[in-house]
Every structure is written in structure tokens, then in C-alpha cells.
Amino acid sequence: MRLDVITIFPDYLAPLDLSLIGKARRDRLIDLHVHDLRDFTHDRHRTVDDTPYGGGAGMVMRPEPWGEALDHVLAAGAADDASAAVPHLLVPGPSGVPFTQAMARRLALEPWLAFACGRYEGIDERVYDEARRHLPVTSVSLGDYVLNGGEVAVLAMVEAIARLVPGVVGNAESLVEESHEDGLLEYPVYTKPAEWRGHPVPEVLLSGHHGKVARWRRDERLRRTAERRPDMLAALGEDGLDAADHEVLRRFRAERPAVAD
Ligand code: 97T
């Protein structure tokens, strides 16, 4: 998979040299290219922003460097790998569609992704209009909070996507039995020692009874999801839960009403 990132802070992406993603790059599973937007300016000050037409607070990123940077990415990618026609362009911002595990799974199947990191109040809208003439473009948000720019969002998205690329994560099983892959949060986990500072590991986990362990874990996932993410339980609907699930949820709710939402 080829990844191109355009940013005014290339150093922000340095963590992608580390850990699992760094290893995937060395193994040539991920071909990551970071581009400095200021390299596509032509004035002495390497200007990338200006005041907004119509007035208002802050600065807007000018379209010309973005146009040149995207032209460069398209040409460089096509020269490197003729099989990848055009990238899917992802633009993080607080007004995008929510980035989800389902989206990460779809994007992990694509041969080429490009990320445009905006700063200030955003990028001139005509950059999106022009990009859409050539590529699929998606504005994505990590959640309902505000960042200073897209770089941290790109770090998160690249990690979420790249770990789903075959070969990047060694144990394929660790990819499926995780939160957000089947609509419930994960169960709590424990390791040695069996007692620590007066806290014992739940007895059932030491019992060796696989059926009981599985039911206990399912119950804990339901309990956590009901407590922390009632929206996820609602989204699962009737079909996602069986009679035993409904019974444990009824008991949890009687014990303690939901706190989230
Ligand atoms: O708030 C932002 C500013 C710039 C780029 C991205 C974001 C953002 O992305 N997800 C949440 C906020």
C-alpha cells in the first residue's frame, strides 16, 4: 500500500518510522511518502495561508500550494507504480464524516491513499472541488473535539489502516477479537500474578472451564458496552443479541442504571 501525506510539519509524522508501522515500511508492506507543503510555494516566505474572503477569524490555506502538491503526488505515485491509478484522498477535519473501524477496514484494501493535513481554519474549498475532478475525496473526523491540525489525526488513521494490511500485524487473530470489530467493547484482561495488592483475578478465569470463561467474557463485554457506550448497544439492535445476552443486560440494568450518554 502506498501512502502520501502532505503537511507543513513533516516532522509530526516521524513516529511512523517506529514500532509496527516502521517495521511494515522496512518490510515494504507500506510505502510512505511525506511531503512538505511549503516545497510547493514560490515566494520568499513560503506562504501557505491568507485571510478569509468574507471576513472572520483566523487564516485559510491558499489553494495554489495544495494544487501543486497534489499534482506532484499523483505524478510521483503513477511513476512509481503504474498499477495504482489514483489515490483516495482523505482530509482530516472537525467537519468530516466519523472515522470508524469499518472505514479503516475498507481503506486497508486500497492500493493508494493520500492525506492532506490542514492547519488554521481549513483549506480553500476549491482544493476539494478540483481534487474531486480527479480522485475520490473524503473529509474525515476522528471525533467531536478540535485539534490544531490534521497531523495527529493522520497518525491515528494510518495506524488504524496499516495494521489491517495483511502481514503488518503478525497474529491475524488479534485483529478480529477486538473492540469495534463486532459491535461490543472488549472484555477485561488479566495476567500473572493471580493476586496483586489484594486484587484477585476473577476465579472463573483460573477454572480452566472454557464454556464458563466464554460466557463470563461475553457478560463483561455486555456490561461495559451498556455502561460506557449505550449507543453501540442500540446500534447492535435485536439481531446482535441473543436471549442470554438480553437476560444479563436486564440484570446489569437492575443492578446499576447506565451512566454514559
Ligand atoms: O480539529 C481538527 C483540525 C484539523 C484537522 C483535523 C481536526 C480533527 O479531526 N478529528 C477531530 C478534529
The pLDDT value given to residue 215 = 97
Ligand 1 atom at shortest distance from the alpha carbon of 119: 4
Compute, in angstroms, the gap from residue 94 CA to the centroid of ligand 1: 4
pTM of the model: 0.93
User: Is the C-beta atom of 147 inside 6 A of ligand 1?
Assistant: yes
User: Is the C-beta atom of 141 inside 6 A of ligand 1?
Assistant: yes
User: Is the C-beta atom of 94 inside 6 A of ligand 1?
Assistant: yes
User: Is the C-beta atom of 9 inside 6 A of ligand 1?
Assistant: no
The pLDDT value given to residue 177 = 53
Compute, in angstroms, the gap from residue 146 CA to the centroid of ligand 1: 5
Q: With CA atoms as reference, report the closest residue to 132 among 185, 70, 214, 216.
A: 70
Using a 10 angstrom Cβ sphere, with 0-12 exposed, 13-18 middle and 19 or more buried, the burial of residue 6 is: buried
Candidates 147, 151, 152, 158: which one to mutate for ligand 1, based on the most atoms within 8 Å of Cβ?
A: 147
Question: Given the DSSP bridges, would you call strands 60-61 and 31-36 parallel, antiparallel or unpaired?
Answer: unpaired
User: Is the C-beta atom of 118 inside 6 A of ligand 1?
Assistant: yes
User: Is the C-beta atom of 153 inside 6 A of ligand 1?
Assistant: yes
Check: CB of residue 10 under 8 Å from CB of residue 2. no
Q: pLDDT (tens digit, 0 to 9) for every residue of the chain, 261 residues total?
A: 999 999 999 999 999 988 888 999 999 999 999 999 999 999 999 999 999 999 999 999 999 999 999 999 999 988 987 677 999 999 999 999 999 999 999 999 999 999 999 987 999 999 999 999 999 999 999 999 999 999 999 999 999 999 999 999 987 656 665 778 789 999 999 999 999 999 999 999 999 999 999 999 999 999 999 999 999 999 998 889 999 999 999 999 999 765 655
User: Is the C-beta atom of 183 inside 6 A of ligand 1?
Assistant: no
Compute, in angstroms, the gap from residue 79 CA to the centroid of ligand 1: 31
User: Is the C-beta atom of 230 inside 6 A of ligand 1?
Assistant: no
Report DSSP state, residue 211. H
Check: CB of residue 3 under 8 Å from CB of residue 29. no
